Amino acid sequence: MTAIVVLPFVALGVAIFLAWGRGIALVDLLLSAGFYAVTGLGVTVGFHRLITHGSFTARPWLRVALGLSGSMSFQGNVIDWVAVHRRHHAFTDRPGDPHSPYRYGTSLRGQLRGLAHAHLGWMFVDDATSAERYAPDLLADPAMVRVARAFPALCALSLTLPFLAGWAISGSLYGGLTAFLWAGLVRVALLQHVTWSVNSLCHVIGSRPFRTRRHDRSTNLWPLALLSFGESWHNGHHSEPTCARHGLERGQIDPSAGLIRLFERLGCATDVRWPDPHRIQRRRADDLQQARAPS
Ligand SMILES: [Zn+2]
Ligand SMILES: [Zn+2]
């Protein structure tokens, strides 16, 4: 676990050191963006919206493909990821939530400590989430069990592929190594910290236009929308957890929802739970206040 968290971050430092003064090669930049998108959307569309929340039904091959690409993001195997996230929704910002930034209270010190805990500290706490309890459907799904078992191999593949691609395109071993650094380790580190920021920042900073359950402090944080593929519309998501689109308001960019729409058009995603405008309107926080205000 320590290696998974610390190594990519150290690599980020090395990469910046190497790139200092001469920039990053275009090949490395394009490969990084490509691997970031494939593995990131594997997490947001696959692990999260499809497998955790059942926001749509995917053809079996697509479900496996998304499970494989999400596994390559170094965020744990698919079954554990889903179990932890379902537990987060079951106990949001209450005792039992595996990564709430409110664990140590709301004083400045407690809040900062809580943010560190929600960002990555929670992974080092002895507080295992039971897959039997939170993901029995996946344990009973042979395809998902196989994807989960392949996690270590997929992590290795996630670093080997950029190296091979960089080597093949540049024709030099050095080109392979810089691609390994940027499109491998740095890409993993960036995606990890963006995902973890949804757990930490998107429960503390930002707006709360939609009603959520009691104690739930999830927020919408626009600066992370693009990098998180729409997952930082986290208040919208906690308000309507099974909805395939997290950016519920006009203009809220949500690339994951765009990809689900594309899958739907191509006929490989069905039963997509798109937002219901009447339901969304009823969930607006200001709507509730107006209803409560004496007339
Ligand atoms: Zn959350
Ligand atoms: Zn969720």
Per-residue pLDDT of 130-171, as tens digits, reads 999 999 999 999 999 999 999 999 999 999 999 999 999 999
Ligand 2 centroid to residue 109 C-alpha, Å: 27
Task: List the one residue out of 263, 270, 266, 205 whose CA is nearest residue 232.
Answer: 205
DSSP-derived letter for residue 22 is: T
Assign 21 a pLDDT band (cuts: 50, 70, 90): low
Per-residue pLDDT of 164-191, as tens digits, reads 999 999 999 999 999 999 999 999 999 9
Neighbours of ion ligand 1 (CB under 5 A): 218
HSE of 102, CA atoms in CB hemisphere, 13 A: 17
Ligand 2 centroid to residue 57 C-alpha, Å: 16
Whether residue 22 has pLDDT greater than 90: no
As a whole number, the mean pLDDT across the chain is: 92
Ligand 1 centroid to residue 91 C-alpha, Å: 10
Tokens of 29: 């930049």
The pLDDT assigned to 20 comes to 67
Tokens of 60: 């079996």
Q: What pTM was estimated for this model as a whole? A: 0.92
Assign 295 a pLDDT band (cuts: 50, 70, 90): very low
Task: List the one residue out of 203, 5, 202, 197 whose CA is nearest residue 103.
Answer: 203
Q: In this structure, which ligand is nearest to the CA of 234? A: 1
Instruction: Write the CA distances from 236 to 9, 129, 251, integer angstroms.
Output: 30, 25, 13
